[in-house]
Amino acid sequence: MILGALVADAAAMGLHWIYDQQRIQDVAPEAPEFFTPDKQNYDGVPAYFAHPTRTAGDLSQYGEQAMVMLRTLVAGGGHYDRAAFADRFRAHFGYGGAYVGYIDHATRDSLDNMRRFEDAAHACAKNLDFDGDPQIPKALVERALPMLQRYSGNMLLQMFEAEISTNDSDSNVVAFGLTLINSLRALPAMTGANDLQLPAIAKLPALVAMHAARGSKGENAFDQDVASAVRVTNDNPVAAHYSHIAAHMMLTAVTSGDAAASVNAGRSVAGAQAADLFQTAAEMAGQSNPTVTKHFGMSCDLPFGLPAAAHNIATATSFCDAVRSNIYSGGDTCGRAILVGAVMGAVHGMGGTKGIPDAWIDRLGVKDEAKQLSSMLLH
């Protein structure tokens, strides 16, 4: 599942965000995968040239986010932690981070929200009376920030008091810390972007694969982790709902190994509007995925991308077929690739006539790291 999502994303990156399907056919009549982005391919048609610094085999920002979650889960010993994911996300995509490339709306706004909340927390600390070392309030804020994401209510107070009491025996510092944490609780919560686009599901493959391999403490634990992770970047009810659908599609692909069952699982947890879109996709089974994608919408919104991806999953005969159909469909190919690649990779595995081609895996720039981390997470 994890490799499938990453390979599909990298395969689509070179022709990402070309909205003229005929142009893609003209540029790559037989094999549209693993192109190095070339501005000439984007000229004169509806398109956005977002990846000028990327080369063939690199990930888009979607695949990069998938890797952030994979690294977070491995570092956490196979346990999801919202604060750890948010911190690693910010470190990777934010100022001075390892990622250099296009920053989408959800990522940009989420990073801005993180910074604004941090600034508000430090301003709050400055407004409280403290007679000791002026560096102590700053340090306490830094300790409080991750706890505000992990805990709430009395549990937050107890955990923060235990944290500062362990590290500082000064009763004045402990008293100030408790005043501070109560003040920080009154601030508007730190949220992800109010965004309903496909970046919401980019972090899901590793999280879903981990739950499938290690088992959840009931379905609620799975759904809660998915919702929490999604809201780090996309704090929007539509994004949360469609991500819930995508997560159940991925989970069923792993547990059943069946593409049709995966699509049915998504539909079974869909609300009325999303279920109608899935029904329309099913009724268009005899039409090509580019035609269906154009019908729903080629851009980044989840209500466009998920039914188009579901149609692709339901009708494609192999991993290669699905990935190529997705690329020829144009628009936000990389956004849809995460779901398409994760499901088709889980269903068909690696190699053979239907699985992820070994040659495609070899072209993936993060192949070695992804393989190693996936093995550590799932075994």
When computed from its CA atoms, the radius of gyration of the chain, rounded to whole angstroms, is 22
pLDDT of residue 170: 83
The CA distance from 325 to 336, in Å, is 11
Contact call for residues 21 and 290 (beta carbons, < 8 A): yes
Q: What is the DSSP letter of 287?
A: S
Contact call for residues 86 and 117 (beta carbons, < 8 A): no
| Residue 79 tokens, joined | 């346990």
| Residue 289 tokens, joined | 């995925």
Contact call for residues 10 and 357 (beta carbons, < 8 A): no
Say whether 332 counts as a known binding-site residue: yes
Q: What is the DSSP letter of 79?
A: -
pLDDT in tens, the chain (379 residues): 999 999 999 999 999 999 999 999 999 999 999 999 999 999 999 999 999 999 999 999 999 999 999 999 999 999 999 999 999 999 999 999 999 999 999 999 999 999 999 999 999 999 999 988 989 999 999 999 989 988 888 899 999 999 888 876 788 899 999 999 999 998 888 889 999 999 999 999 999 999 999 876 566 899 999 999 999 999 999 999 999 999 999 999 999 999 999 999 999 999 999 999 999 999 999 999 999 999 999 999 999 999 999 999 999 999 999 999 999 999 999 999 999 999 999 999 999 999 999 999 999 999 999 999 999 999 8
pLDDT of residue 278: 98
The per-residue pLDDT for range 4-18, each reduced to its tens digit, is: 999 999 999 999 999
Angle at 272 between CA 268 and CA 278, to 5 degrees: 60
Q: What is the DSSP letter of 193?
A: B
pLDDT of residue 151: 87
- Which residue, among 235, 265, 240, 237, has the nearest Cα to 250 in the 3D structure? 265
The one-letter amino acid code at 109 reads D
CATH top-level class of 2-101+197-378: mainly alpha
Handedness of CA 209, 66, 72, 234 (dihedral sign): negative
Mean pLDDT of all residues in the chain?
A: 95
pLDDT of residue 216: 60
The CA distance from 325 to 181, in Å, is 52
Contact call for residues 4 and 309 (beta carbons, < 8 A): no
The CA distance from 119 to 111, in Å, is 12
Contact call for residues 14 and 63 (beta carbons, < 8 A): no
Using H for helix, E for strand and C for coil, what is the string for 235-263? Answer: CCHHHHHHHHHHHHHHHHHHHHCCHHHHH
The one-letter amino acid code at 211 reads H
pLDDT of residue 217: 59
The per-residue pLDDT for range 249-296, each reduced to its tens digit, is: 999 999 999 999 999 999 999 999 999 999 999 999 999 999 999 999
| Residue 142 tokens, joined | 């830094």
| Alpha-carbon distance values, 190 to 110, 129, 239, 259, 325 (Å) | 9, 24, 17, 37, 39
Contact call for residues 26 and 45 (beta carbons, < 8 A): no
Residues 6+ apart with CB under 8 A from 36: 14, 54, 55, 56
E strands present in the chain:
none
| Residue 182 tokens, joined | 């109560």
| Alpha-carbon distance values, 245 to 168, 216, 263 (Å) | 46, 17, 9
Task: Collapse the DSSP code of 69 into the 3-class scheme (helix H, G, I; strand E, B; otherwise coil) and give the result.
Answer: helix
65 alpha-carbon distance from chain centroid:
5
